[in-house]
Amino acid sequence: MAISYKGLWKLLIDNNMNKTDLMNEVKISSSTIAKMSKGEPVSMLVLERICEKLDCDFGDIISIDKKKQ
């Protein structure tokens, strides 16, 4: 299983934002964005701040891809 942030990337597009905008507005580091880009886990606090900014829920930004390892 692997973590997928496809929902987050789609929400960024829908909100006319890019990863740099997200970093600046949510105050997360480039290394956190890099982890997310690679499908690696990040802190729940980071996910919470992203959800607050994008007015969404965890399930809207993250999912589990059971086919990948």
pLDDT of residue 69: 57
* Residue ranges of the chain whose pLDDT lies below 50: none
Helix (H, G, I), strand (E, B), or coil: what is residue 57? coil
Domain residue spans in the chain?
Answer: 2-65
- pTM equals 0.88
pLDDT of residue 66: 83
- What are 8-27's pLDDT values in tens digits? 999 999 999 999 999 999 99
At 11, list the tokens: 């929400």
CATH superfamily of 2-65: lambda repressor-like DNA-binding domains (1.10.260.40)
Structure-token match 């891809």, residue found? 65
pLDDT of residue 38: 93
At 42, list the tokens: 């990040």
DSSP strands (E only) in the chain: 2-4, 63-65
CA distance 50 to 68: 24
